Amino acid sequence: MNTGMVFRFLTVVLCVTLLTSAALAASRIKDIADFEGIRENQLIGYGLVVGLNGTGDSLRNTPFTQQSLQAMLERLGVNTRDVDLNTNTVAAVMVTANLPPFATQGTRIDVNVSALGNAASLQGGTLLVTPLVGADGEVYSIAQGSVAVAGFSAQADAASVVRGVPTSGRIANGGLVEREVEFKLASLTTLRLALRNPDLTTSRRIALSINELIGMPTAEPLDPGTVRIDLPREYNGNIVDLLTDIEQLIVEPDLPAKVVIDENSGIIVMGQDVKVSTVAVAQGNLTVTIAETPQVSQPLPFANGQTQVLPRSDLMINDDADAKLAIVPQSVTLKQLVDGLNALGIGPRDMISILQAIKASGALQAEIEVL
């Protein structure tokens, strides 16, 4: 292989690498933004689960379950107002669901069921007819069906075991849509894109990509989280074609340099644009370890003495004399920063303190967010 062929081969490999890295960083518009108005709506309802095998609510301790049971029986023509109900096969539950966009009447949706009282398990129960209302108080769906519970619980006289959450379940296709959400997409003349991660650069790139597709300036970034699109004339009457073309466009989102820290779990997440100026880092702690190993001293046989416990303590001090001062050079990359801190033998907990100290010194060119 001559020099020219080697040069062309290396050029092709470099181009493929650059294209692959760019493709991995870019995303479709449908994955980073939402069209305003095309969204789910949350529903909620209160109902009763019956048929439980002795794992329901205790009616004496949950009066709302007893009141709901009596009201339901009265609607069915059974009078139980003067009767002392004592059953543990019924449980009061909260029912939640998400109404998909453009769901029509008769569409089936999944519902979640969660115990509200002191029921031990919803295993084997059946949810009775439960209206699900939206934020406006209107009923949009009716839920009913057998509750599927993934967890279970078992108890004996001296032991018990619980796996998962037996007081929460799900009914697949248990909700029936009764009312549609009024939203006329075809009548819109202006669309708005809502970015899931607001950013000025990303919103401008989306607008430029849409304008390049249509061939005229129809998209305009209003703020970091919103892009307005005026419906062009050639798409009048068929807005679905426009949305389909827009959501498939590839855009490279831009993210701010940020370090996210969860102090409870010790998790650290750093973006690729995090930079550090020249700074010296030293990490050392004074560790004192005390180990107690008491010994039992017993008198000789037939001797007039007493058995005593003698304390024995081992004291060890580690002042990290081998700890060194490390210099982090200017404008290092994320990988270099992590490798440098790991080379010092620093754990996640100490790394959190070091990052906060570097930020306080002004050497960390990123935002720190503590969860």
pLDDT in tens, 314-343: 555 455 555 555 555 555 665 666 676 676
pLDDT higher than threshold 90 for residue 350: no
Q: Is the pLDDT of residue 353 over 90?
A: no
pLDDT (tens digit per residue) in 286-315: 444 445 566 767 777 766 767 776 666 555
Q: What is the pLDDT of residue 351?
A: 77
CA dist 281 and 332 (Å) reads: 14
Q: Are both 46 and 170 inside the same structural domain?
A: yes
pTM (2 d.p.): 0.67
pLDDT of residue 37: 84
Output the DSSP codes for 221-278: EEETTEEEEEPPGGGTT-HHHHHHHHHT-EE------EEEEETTTTEEEE-TT-EE-S
Closest listed residue to residue 279, CA positions, set 329, 213, 239, 318? 329
Residue 153 has pLDDT above 90, yes or no: no
- 95, 49 in Cβ contact below 8 A? no
**Whole-angstrom Cα Rg for the chain:** 33
Same domain flag for 193 and 242: yes
Looking at the fold, whether 124 and 84 belong to one and the same domain comes out as yes
Q: Is the same domain home to 366 and 273?
A: yes
Lowest mean pLDDT among 105-114, 117-126, 170-179, 235-244: 235-244
Task: Tell me how far apart the alpha carbons of residues 128 and 131 are, in angstroms, rounded to a whole number.
Answer: 10
Q: Assess contact for 172 and 217: CB atoms under 8 A.
A: no
> Same structural domain for residues 162 and 217?
no
Domain end call among 251, 268, 298: 251
CA distance 204 to 1: 47
Q: For residue 114, is it within any domain?
A: yes
Same domain as 194, residue 128: no
pLDDT digits (tens, 9 = 90+) for 59-72: 888 889 988 988 89
Report d(CA 169, CA 364) in Å as an integer: 47
DSSP letters, 46-105, are EEEEE--SS-S--TTT-HHHHHHHHHHHHHTT---TTS----SS-EEEEEEEEE-TTPPT
Q: Are 127 and 174 in contact (CB under 8 A)?
A: yes
- Range of 353's domain? 259-286+318-370
- Residue 87 makes CB contacts below 8 A (sequence gap 6+) with 56, 59, 69
Pairing of strands 108-115, 126-133: unpaired
Same-domain pairing of 55 and 133: yes
For residue 291, what pLDDT is reported? 54
Q: Are residues 270 and 364 in the same domain?
A: yes
Distances (CA, A) of 48 to 39, 69, 102, 141, 250: 29, 8, 29, 16, 48
Q: What is the pLDDT of residue 288?
A: 44
Q: Looking at the structure, tell me whether residues 237 and 328 fall in a common domain.
A: no
Residue with tokens 């827009």: 246
Residue 105 φ/ψ region, left for φ over 0, alpha for ψ in the -120 to 50 degree band, beta for the rest: beta
- Domain end (from 225, 251, 277): 251
Residue where one domain finishes, among candidates 234, 251, 268 = 251
Mean pLDDT of the region 173-178: 95
Q: Do both 213 and 195 map to the same domain?
A: yes
| Number of domains observed in the structure of the chain | 3
Same domain for 217 and 238? Answer: yes
Q: How far is CA 199 from CA 31, 255, 320, in A?
A: 15, 7, 45
- Same structural domain, 270 and 153: no
What integer pLDDT is reported at residue 23 of this predicted model?
43
Question: Residues 40-61: what's their mean pLDDT?
Answer: 92
The span from the CA of 209 to the CA of 191, in Å, is: 15
Phi, psi of 341 (to 5 degrees): -70, -35
Spatial distance between the Cα atoms of 342 and 326, rounded to a whole number of angstroms: 11
What is the rounded CA–CA span in Å between residue 43 and residue 138? Answer: 10
Which residues, in sequence order, are CB contacts of 71 under 8 Å at separation 6+?
none
Determine, yes or no, domain membership for 132: yes
